[in-house]
Structure 1
Amino acid sequence: MYESVDLPEDAPPEAVPLAMARGFTRAAWRAQGHELEQLAIFAAASGSEFDAVEVAALLVLSPRAAQERLDLAVTLATRLPRALAAIKAGRLDPYRASKIADATLPLSLEDAAVVEREILDRVEEMPAVKLCRVLRRIVARVNADALQALHEQRVARRRVDMYPTEDGCAALTVHGPAARIQVAAKRVDAIAYQLRDTGGADGRTMDQLRSDVALDLLAGKDFQHAKITVQVTLPARAALGAGNTPGHLVGYGDIAAQQAVDLAYQADATWRRILTEPATGRVLDVGRRRYSPPAALRDHIQAAMPTCTGPGCVRPAVRCDLDHREPFPVGPTDKHNVHPACRPHHRAKSFGGWKIIKRGEILEWVSPCGFRYPHHPEPITHPEPVPPPF
């Protein structure tokens, strides 16, 4: 069943098929919601250890995928009924619902309901990666110890997967702690850029260089040390050991307070420490030994807005352009007019007919078809309640 979507005022003709595509997508989500509901009913009625085999054969899935589908169905029906209702209403897809289920796994039913209620008020226009970041923040606020518990569970399941793709190629994925993965990825990037800048690329693209460097490192090839910097944010009180408010790892999102404190003093990379003001969660101080004023402005913007501001984009700000909302020299180069934008979003604004309207702290991206996508800047750490006066 098709769900109509309101078109923006004065929308051009090409906006009509986009609106129809969105309507069909939401109709598919509704159908998937009803499918999950029926799978939960089946699991409750059957209770056999071979339920996944039955589902796999019927839905043409692998046994593992069928088990994951069944587990999600049961979790939504028993722990997250509002999320299941949102899928059936076409407001949420099963994949993002699975992220809510994963994030609330260590919580009690009562706390899970609190997280579910809050995230469903905001989830409709939120892509999966951003959803995971916001979920970690809400979970940590509801139960600060849960974030650490979830981290420990995930680390305990770290692994390496290898699977064939096509035409003689294969994929190797490493699952592990976000901080270590980020250090490893940055080292691959640094070496690849070093090869490119010193004439060692031999015509290879950056993606090809990254792949070759990563495999060379795993195979034991020794590269000259490449300097990397990783940014970790922690609330001032947590830095003093006086609070457990979560910190923030740039390029990933919220991490438990103790992780942030530990990372700030780790020695396997250059870790830039950023302190935040307790009452607001905004940037208070950027730890820096040597940088000129333009670099200081860049550091501040990248710390205050840790991702691209484009709709649905979570590319880390350190890998984005610093774009002038009002083109220079009409618009100044300051924190009010400069924001991080990945290269595709930067080019879309400069050459593709996109516009950005600033409304207070909100940057609203307007597409050529007239659709509007507000970017709401969030504090990168949790605001802390002001303690009562003595």
Structure 2
Amino acid sequence: MFDERTDADLLEMMRRGQRNERVAIAERLLAAGRLCQQRMRSVEAAERAQWCIDNWEAVAAEVAAELGVSQGRASSQMNYGVQLIERLPKLGVLFASGAIEYRIVITAIFRTGLIVDADLLDAVDTRLAQQAAGWNTCSEEKLKERIDWFVRELDPHAVRAARRADDDRHIETTPAADGMAEIYGRVRASDAAAFDQRLNQLAATVCRDDPRTTRQRRSDALGAWSAGIPTMQCECGSGECPAGADSANDPTQIVIHLLAEAKTVTGEGDAPALLAGYGGIPAETVRTMAKHAKLRPVVGGKELNAEPRYRPSNALAEFIRCRDLTCRFPGCDRPASMTDIDHTVPYPLGPTHPSNLKLLCRLHHLLKTFYAGAGGWADRQLPDGTVVWTSPSGRTYTTKPGGALFFPQLFTPTAELKLPQAPAQNEPGRGVMMPARRRTRTQDRADRIRWERGLNEARAAAHPPPF
């Protein structure tokens, strides 16, 4: 494709590709915004404004399924599209032409978010549309500086004030390679100092013959501290270790689930185990952990039959969680620990059986329950755990059990059931059962804007110009 191209041709392809990319992103966001507008104008949207899962969430689920992204990302894209259509239409036209980058658009949407006067917002939109094409080379800080200049000039109380450093406290954990994970965050200095000392104290509870380095002991100390164990397990291997008497593994309320083949645990095989959300754990680590863990065999789906009750037995529930691993709605990856076990065909029409059970997070469980029937979501489950979803727009999406990728035996088809069509669930009065919001989404947004503008007004009153 590129062999016969001149330097000029390649540069032109790059420029054209960049412009097409911008146009495509704008098309996606604006389409999401238009779909949202259309659905929010319906009578049902007003009736469901107080629902926990309102029409916005319902549209976000459909967008997430179509794009193969999470519910949160879909909601963000809908919001950007609506903002470009309703609040910054001139900037939206410029974006759709391919003249500006996506990061300019999302920065402008956020930095102008506190403007409530329509005329002032139009004036800012006009200036952005006139100037933004020349900002593609600007850094994030420069973009904020220029957009804030326009906002401050026209509506000083709408400038986004920097958050205090203390407001940005957070702790994050992310998966890493080879059965490891990374922990990072931002905490108060006093808490960091206490945390640092506590790791040192725990790392010192082993004897001097422990083979680990100080850094390794501090890392392992985090596991003991998280489990509420007062001392670390010494690894010197001596039966007369002076730290041994204090290294008992007291039972705690901290539980993690590791999914492994029996041969890995016994040493007959070296297949890695799975720690959901973090990936593979080396076989050697699994066997070390197994010495102090509670082992619980997972009963295969073929060995499980229909149960004469709504709530599945522990064995059946464990199989469903290990097979699915995450919520089975398209685009959702919430882990098994945060999901419900759902009957695809509602009980008692559909049995409590592996071929009729799957995991759904609470959001998508409510969505399936209250947005079903004519013009809503429908799902069909196959014996191997595959679920075929049909959206309100008639589009179909297929999800397969997450555990089957790592342990194919979990994908073995269970009994094929003759199930009736799931009944429509949108009968009158059903909405009364939906958990309700205290305030609608629109009220929440208006309150946040009033609160933030109020802080700016109070700040200006306390320190009037010149500053």
Same fold (TM over 0.5): no
Instruction: Indicate the TM-score class for this superposition, using the shorter chain for normalisation.
Output: 0.3 to 0.5
Q: With the length of structure 2 as denominator, give the TM-score of the two structures.
A: 0.35
Q: With the length of structure 1 as denominator, give the TM-score of the two structures.
A: 0.41
Structure number with larger C-alpha Rg: 2
More strand by share: 1
